[in-house]
Structure 1
Amino acid sequence: MRLPPSSKMADEDDPVTHEIDVYLSKSLAENLYLLQYLVRPSHLNYDEVKPLNVKVKPNQKEIQLELPVNTRTPNYAYSKGEQMALIVDGEYKPTDENFFNSNVMDKTVLASGPCTASTERYAVGVYKEGELHLTPLNAISQIRPSFSYMDRADSKQKILNTKQPEGGESSQEEEEEEAKPVRLKFARHETVEAKARRMASYDYLKKKRDEEQWINVKYHSIHDDKALSERNLLFAAKNHEVTEFNISTWEYLEKLMPPVTEKHKEKPALPNNILSLSQLRTMPLQEQVKALLINAKVIQFRQLLALLPRGTDPTAVIRCLQQVAVLVQGCWVVKSEILYPKDTTSPHSGVSAEHLCRGRDYLMWRFLHSSHVTRKEISFVIKLPAEDVKDILEQMSRVRASHGWEFIFEYDKEFCSRYSEIVQRQKVLWEAKFQTLCKQLKINPKEVEKKCKEQPSPEKPKKPRTPTKSRKRTLSGRSISDHSDVETDNPDKVIHIKEESDDDDGGCEIVEVNHEGSHSMSNGPSSREGSGGMYNSNGNASKELLHELHLFVRDKLYSRYVLTLSELKRLFHLKLTQCQSGHILGTGVSDIMLEQAVIDVGGVKVNNLWPPSSNIDEPVFTVVKNGDYLDPMREVLIDLFRASCRVRSNVFKKKLEETIGDNATNYTDNDYKKLLRDYCVTKGCSWYLKGTYTEDS
């Protein structure tokens, strides 16, 4: 191809001085290797050395060369060569199993690793008679000395140890090994993500590398006739049309020198139960609702509105909800078709998505008529493996002793009374779906409806009975009793919203929505009757709970020095997300208990005068005595904040001199700055207690 001079380039500063024809040859494109000898000087090449053996792995693009070693040169250490041969081959015997051909080290091995460098932008060029012929490279191999033959000594020793019987007994006297039962294992269905991770692992790549066999090839020197004929293939035929160059000049230049694009670093994927609030707000309303439903599985309408941007139209939200969810007991449950798309299978058992959707829909229909179900009864109808049944149950229910599985939320009377038309429409849809389920599951609709009528309605749940007998379990985790499930370790589901913030702990802002539909301080019940280990027989908080609460409050208070009640509650929420299920702190902690814990660990409640325009009204807790030499300064600073919402540094110094007199000279300017930065934030010339100042103040 001849590149014509461009009008933009043909100026006086950058003239075109010469033009050449460029040809592309592909005759050797699939077999052309570039060998780089990294530990060999350029003036000491191997052109005059004829290899003893050459092997390649075409798929892995590996090369191995065996080169002879001149053992007669005065530079060769003959004793060292004999020692090396003895280590590798043992005592010399002329056999084919020997690596070396004599009793000394008479050859060396050069090998390359798997080819990882990209060769898309590399080619071998030959310039002849004013023409440039290019051939794309297939691989770039970096050749280094290989000492893999040193492992032969270890492998030989292992073989000898295996063949030699213990105690000198002959193999005939050895007793036969006792027959042992063989356990068959069936591999679980592998997801696409798991398969991609497995295929990118080192073990998998090494296995593929070892599986490919070496292929012996014939070596031709640089002066051989065969080598000359192969080099001629680097020249393209004149009548061969090169389609790659049938483009305009500027397109060719762009392909030759593509523009530099910045690679944006991808953020790591969040866990399945975590949503990024910043990413969520960039989605359309339909996608926001779908994302929240997929993560929460079940959600109440007021919860959903609280998580969506402020001012979102409830009518538009309901319109989106009906496309991705169905109504069960006044709550919205994500549709089964969204959780189990078509042509997918269960990660536990490999059951098709069609059967999973069918079983999950039947469970939702049962929860329409009863707030409790038993796993045995559900499994008998939907006929799914135990792992899938438990997974579906955990999505929308929780275990209650002597009751089985209870729907995760109470009946939402508020939504049903306000949107009666939506409730009626969903009822009609469920009636049609139930008829379809009866045909698919081959059940008698009259018998199922009769059982549902015998159970209490979800609007008026039956009063729970006191369990009289605990259930026994086998080692596999299955229950001996057939009446209900009583596992109590099933944690309540929460929605975690991740929001980037500049928190002092480096953590993330997490909004936690519990099953009661409100932002709460605990994972468990708030009343004394349902708090389990929170209260003792006298109605007081247990010592274990108070001990853990004091440890938490002490750690946060003495590391931050100033805490508002809302900030303390936020840190407590964060602590609960890091605790394991069943932790004592999750049994219920009220605001009063938090305030009392601050006082118990030595904190002080400041009757602070808030900035008038901040509209903030909550307690502020701080540390007055920390047991160091700055305690007098702390007392003076807190006394100033009891009288005013802001303090100036010069007023603070003057007040300290009036209080402690000549002892004030013992404190340096760094002490003043450290104390003010620990307790306050600055705005202008004034200092405010942390948490009390807002931009509107």
Structure 2
Amino acid sequence: MLSLPLEERIKKLLCEGPPVHRFSFLKHFALDCCDEEFLQVLQKHALLVQGLWAPKSSLLLLEDGESSLVRDYLLLLFSENSTISESDLLSNIPTNLRKKMEVFLDAFAVKRSSFKFTGWKFKEPADASFIKRYPKIVDAQKEVWNSIEKNLKKYIGGKKRGPRERNADPKPIITGTPGKTVNPTGTLMKNAIGVSSGRKTMSEETREALPKALTKVFLTHKVCSFQLICQGLRQLAISQSTLPKADARMVVAAAYGVDAPSEELHEIINQVATNIHGLFVLKSSPEHPEYDPLRKVVIDLLRGGSPDVKLKKANVFQAAKEVLKRDISINEYNKVMNDICVSKGSAWVLKSGDGNPT
């Protein structure tokens, strides 16, 4: 991936990843160029929607012109608001195009039905950090959407749009001051990264993809710090970007977890791994699950001691006999200890978690 020219790299990422992309994730694949150069190329092939980047329909080589029209119309609506009412769509999209509409809605949004609102909500939370950091790009993209809307009106979406969902997020208004974004009430919009807003900012797609991706990271690094996990998720997306689309999409979606608030990523990590004094170890070994009972014994011994605790062979054998009610074999002992520890003289200590073997 990194060996490709910048433009080809961007096109490949846009086409093979999820429906929309965060700038911070895309830019990770182009650390060799400045933001200005990267954004110039990115805007040739993608459109800004809620601070995220969606590939242009022309780049995706859709099966027909009608599919492009429907997709562009839905993205136009989502660029203006994170929700679309069902009445808007039914009144503006011709009956013969509604099957195509459903395909793209499934990709971009989730259905919501209540007494006050029936429609669709954009799956991914807005990237407020990008909106705040690049107001000129946001303004330029508004002009692009205005041009697209004029063209779309010839074929679709000519009727007045209905009411929004009452609790929908207000559309940001870009001020003349770089780095500041206000909503219609005039209050500053908080940065979506690292600020608790009372709702999850990690998409369901990412939450579902992370456990599998995390397991892949732990297969490479048996013991990980939080920083190494984040690095591993991004590297995984790079190394596996040539896989079939379904699997590659899983990896890219999981890498988005790195941009979510850290407490949300920690929540998913804790589902598959155990925290040992700030370092993480898989609860179950994908390679040797038959040794998981002994693995848990060793993990408990490490957690019960100080951060620099040293485990002696006799201590492990004794603890295993008490907990497992049997004598363990030398083979399973060596498998478990070598997996998460390193030998220091006559004792074992937890691996460093920094990616190094010791």
Distance apart, 1:452 and its partner CA: 7.2
Task: Give, as a single letter, the amino acid of the residue that structure 1 aligns with 2:146.
Answer: E
Contact 2:84 2:164 in 1 (8 A): no
Distance of 1:453 and 1:436 partners within structure 2:
27
Partner of 2:307: 608
Equivalent residue for 2:260, pick from 506, 515, 518: 518
After TM superposition, the score normalised by the length of structure 2 is 0.57
Report whether the alignment pairs 1:360 with 2:57: no
The alignment's C-alpha RMSD in Å is 4.9
Task: Give, as a single letter, the amino acid of the residue that structure 1 aligns with 2:151.
Answer: T
SS of equivalent residue, structure 2 residue 150: helix
Q: Structure 1 residues 692 and 304, CA, compared in 2 at 3 Å: closer, same or farther?
A: same
Task: Give, as a single letter, the amino acid of the residue that structure 2 aligns with 1:288.
Answer: R
Distance of 1:608 and 1:515 partners within structure 2:
28
Distance of 1:424 and 1:436 partners within structure 2:
19
Report Cα offsets for 1:476-510 as digits up to 9, x if no partner.
xxxxxxxxxxxxxx95357787998893899x965
Contact 1:325 1:333 in 2 (8 A): yes
Contact 1:398 1:492 in 2 (8 A): no
Contact 2:70 2:100 in 1 (8 A): no
Report whether the alignment pairs 1:291 with 2:12: yes
Distance of 1:685 and 1:433 partners within structure 2:
69
Partner of 2:111: 399
Partner of 2:282: 568
Task: Give, as a single letter, the amino acid of the residue that structure 2 aligns with 1:518.
Answer: A
SS of equivalent residue, structure 2 residue 324: coil
SS of equivalent residue, structure 1 residue 566: strand
Contact 1:370 1:456 in 2 (8 A): yes
Report whether the alignment pairs 1:301 with 2:23: yes
Kindly report which structure 2 residues correspond to 1:207-606, keeping only aligned pairs within 5 A, or say none.
280-294=1-15, 295-306=17-28, 308=29, 313-341=34-62, 345=63, 353-383=64-94, 384-402=96-114, 403=117, 404-441=119-156, 443-444=158-159, 447-448=160-161, 457-459=170-172, 491-492=204-205, 503=219, 512-514=254-256, 517-518=259-260, 565-568=279-282, 605=303, 606=305
SS of equivalent residue, structure 2 residue 54: strand
Contact 1:375 1:389 in 2 (8 A): no
Distance of 2:80 and 2:65 partners within structure 1:
24
Contact 2:22 2:256 in 1 (8 A): no
Q: Structure 1 residues 610 and 379, CA, compared in 2 at 3 Å: closer, same or farther?
A: farther
SS of equivalent residue, structure 1 residue 458: coil
Distance of 1:499 and 1:289 partners within structure 2:
27
Distance of 1:456 and 1:628 partners within structure 2:
57
SS of equivalent residue, structure 1 residue 441: coil
Distance apart, 1:283 and its partner CA: 2.9
Greater RCO (CA < 8 Å, at least 6 residues apart): 2
Contact 1:358 1:382 in 2 (8 A): no
Q: Structure 1 residues 385 and 303, CA, compared in 2 at 3 Å: closer, same or farther?
A: same
Q: Structure 1 residues 607 and 315, CA, compared in 2 at 3 Å: closer, same or farther?
A: farther
Distance apart, 1:297 and its partner CA: 1.2
SS of equivalent residue, structure 2 residue 138: helix
Task: Give, as a single letter, the amino acid of the residue that structure 1 aligns with 2:26.
Answer: L
Q: Structure 1 residues 380 and 313, CA, compared in 2 at 3 Å: closer, same or farther?
A: same
SS of equivalent residue, structure 2 residue 53: strand
Contact 2:343 2:349 in 1 (8 A): no
For structure 1, list consecutive stretches of 5 or more residues without a partner in the other structure: 1-279, 346-352, 463-489, 527-545, 575-597, 612-621, 632-669
Distance of 1:309 and 1:440 partners within structure 2:
38
After TM superposition, the score normalised by the length of structure 1 is 0.32
Distance of 1:514 and 1:501 partners within structure 2:
15
Task: Give, as a single letter, the amino acid of the residue that structure 1 aligns with 2:70.
Answer: G
Distance apart, 1:286 and its partner CA: 2.4
Distance of 1:690 and 1:309 partners within structure 2:
35
Report Cα offsets for 1:15-50 as digits up to 9, x if no partner.
xxxxxxxxxxxxxxxxxxxxxxxxxxxxxxxxxxxx
* Identity of matched residues, %: 19
Distance apart, 1:420 and its partner CA: 1.5
Distance apart, 1:357 and its partner CA: 0.8
Q: Structure 1 residues 495 and 503, CA, compared in 2 at 3 Å: closer, same or farther?
A: closer
Distance apart, 1:458 and its partner CA: 2.8
Report whether the alignment pairs 1:679 with 2:337: yes
Distance of 1:335 and 1:519 partners within structure 2:
29
Distance of 2:215 and 2:2 partners within structure 1:
11
For structure 2, list consecutive stretches of 5 or more residues without a partner in the other structure: 173-182, 186-202, 223-232, 237-250, 287-295, 311-315
| Paired positions, count | 271
Distance of 1:452 and 1:433 partners within structure 2:
22
Distance apart, 1:441 and its partner CA: 2.0
Report whether the alignment pairs 1:691 with 2:351: yes
Distance of 1:695 and 1:453 partners within structure 2:
51
Distance of 1:376 and 1:492 partners within structure 2:
27
Q: Which has the higher helix share?
A: 2
Report Cα offsets for 1:212-254 as digits up to 9, x if no partner.
xxxxxxxxxxxxxxxxxxxxxxxxxxxxxxxxxxxxxxxxxxx
Larger Rg, first or second structure (1 or 2): 1
Q: Structure 1 residues 492 and 405, CA, compared in 2 at 3 Å: closer, same or farther?
A: farther
SS of equivalent residue, structure 2 residue 282: helix
SS of equivalent residue, structure 2 residue 120: strand
